[in-house]
Amino acid sequence: MLNGLYALTDASLTPDDTLLAQVAQALAGGTKIVQLRDKQRSDAQLLELARDLQALCRQQHALFIINDRIALAKAIAADGVHIGQHDVDFASARAQLPQQIIGVSCYGSLEQARFYQQQGADYVAFGACFASSTKPLAPVIDHQLLFQAKQQLSIPVCAIGGITLDNAPLLVQQGVDMLAVVSDLWTSNNVQLRAQQLSALLIKS
């Protein structure tokens, strides 16, 4: 099920008072995976929100992933976590979450991706694919890297960073399994429609 549109929450674009409604619209539009990403608040502060998001995802048969927070993911039995270069060590994450999904950011490194696949990662993410408003300092990768990753890896490949409806087809052509989208989804006048449009790009004919 690690395929399709992957929606990442954002503290400013998905504030608490509208978050559940926005995610419900994204799920109605075909979003397959939702990630709670909040770098500021504590696990305790996010516990209720995480539980609500998880329930919403389960109602729609979507996966619920938590960024970085191993203890929180374990506490609510989330579907998995996503970790990055400066987050928890992969071996530690796997020891604490032996059965859950663990995705890893590999930025522009195939070498890292091969290493984490060997370690037991369930998917890898590459980016930024384009200049990103949510991570403006992130280096932009060569899109050919995504094609190479699909040729060399056996686990799913996720593209992230500055992805919009207009530029997403360039990534789909490289064979990616997932498109991780933030701004283009949440700033749309119609989140459900934008989710449908993005999801349609990934439906294999």
Other Cβ atoms less than 10 A from the Cβ of 139: the count is: 10
Over the stretch 110-144, which tens digit does the pLDDT of each residue have?
A: 999 999 999 999 999 999 999 987 778 889 999 99
| Domain segments of the chain as ranges | 4-202
In whole angstroms, give the CA distance from residue 68 to residue 58.
20
In whole angstroms, give the CA distance from residue 143 to residue 27.
27
Over the stretch 56-78, which tens digit does the pLDDT of each residue have?
A: 999 999 999 999 999 999 999 99
What's the pLDDT at 136?
80
Predicted TM-score of the model (pTM): 0.96
In whole angstroms, give the CA distance from residue 63 to residue 58.
7
Nearest to 84 by CA among 66, 57, 98: 66
What's the pLDDT at 204?
64
Reported as a pLDDT band with limits 50, 70 and 90, residue 205 is very low
Indicate the CATH number of 4-202 among 3.40.350.10, 1.10.287.40, 3.30.413.10, 3.20.20.70.
3.20.20.70
* Residues in CB range of 87: below 8 A, 6 or more apart: 68
